[in-house]
Chain A
Amino acid sequence: MAIGVIRETERRTLPFDKLGVIIAALAVYGAFLAPFATFRANRIVQGEGKAILEALPPSLGYGLLALVTFGIVVALLKTSVLVRMAAAFAALVALCFLIGSAAGNLVPADNAYARVSPASGFWILVFAFALLVADALTRLNPGPGLRLLFLAGALALVGGMLATGRWDGLSILKEYASRADTFWAEAGRHLTLALGSLAAATVLGLPLGILCHRVDRLRATVLNALNAIQTIPSIALFGILIGPLGWIATHVPGAEAIGVRGIGVAPAFVALFLYSLLPVVANTVVGLAGVPRAANDAARGLGMTEWQRLVAVEFPLAFPVILAGIRIVLVQNIGLATIAALIGGGGFGVFVFQGIGQTAMDLVLLGAVPTVVLAFTAAIVLDALIEVMGPKHSRGKAA
């Protein structure tokens, strides 16, 4: 009874949702105090911020403010999960849709130099409502299938905006329009670097991990060496690799023909590969070590050969842990591949560093946003995959 009384008073003094208070505060700041869009006379001058009502025609502006205010109230109060989800989703769709309208509204039709980009208010609102969606999702605790469906929905929303040309007036897409060819070439290079080095690390890391699991003495040595590599900063590692790879290119016959050089794709690939090895090898070792002793003993006692035991017992049981390592590597590589541009390796980093050089933030975003979307997508897809592979035995007792 005493507990019930305390809860009752708690409810009376705190009618608000705790996380909702933070989300509401963010959204209030984003909607009413921060600029919604930035207008610039050309692509590199300092821009001026425009509030929602300045950036949009009155009907749309007030409509958006009303929707955002509704979302704030829903977030603030203790409301049902589905209502929170719906309100946040509606606000996100409206934001995505209307930022495109802001471009058409602010720029005179015949002006090809003026630029409009989303400003801090827009990003803060997107962040606040994305947080609300994430919070509602956590409370719903959806299965992997539903999570993938949400991801597909979000990607479809963004894809729809791009395909229908809603966002064509935004500066980031104007940067894209003048670089469409290179954009896709660099995207391909980015993925090749990230996925290729992951594939190489998996092909070498799995057997190495298995070997480390079987041979005690090797384990400490290999893991320590890989740990040491992991502590080298990425730019330093690129630099360190220029020497040896350059030497190989000039001294080993045929090396240059297959693309080995001191700068460019080769050192970037090798560096990403080296960074990828530790998570793959370490998780393979941890996964194999987690296989129940009794299951291994039974496998041998029932007459499985070493190979059969590895394939039929050890590997399937260790697989979710190994997959978790591959997930770490994939997300890490997609981010790290950006830096490859510094040594001529290509990828989305090209736009980031060009943009920094030209003080053109839009160009930086053209490189950064796809990288973030890719990493995010990879993380969600692999998390779902890990969960699908795991449940049959993860709930079981290790006996």
Chain B
Amino acid sequence: MMLIDCPHCGPRNENEFSYGGEAHVAYPENPAELTDKEWSRYLFYRGNKKGIFAERWVHAGGCRKWFNALRDTVSYEFLAVYGAGEAQPQIDTLQGGTR
């Protein structure tokens, strides 16, 4: 069992959460002007980083709110959670991990 810190509800079991893929993927300014290749890049291409990765999560079994998290994809450790729309925290300034 892994606990995930929901920004609204505090630490909860991982089975209450759903994964939403990479965070900070900006919607194109003018989607109509994109070529098919650029559009497919926006729709389907995501990072697959080994290490610290910014991701979207939703607390589906709780407050039903989306938030962002920094997670180490090697150890599964959640290093930070922050609100949707907020800038990614600088990980080297954080005081240690959570769990």
Are both chains from one complex? Answer: no
Q: Measuring CB to CB, which residues of chain A are less than 8 angstroms from any residue of chain B?
A: none
Point out residues on B near A: beta carbons under 8 Å: none
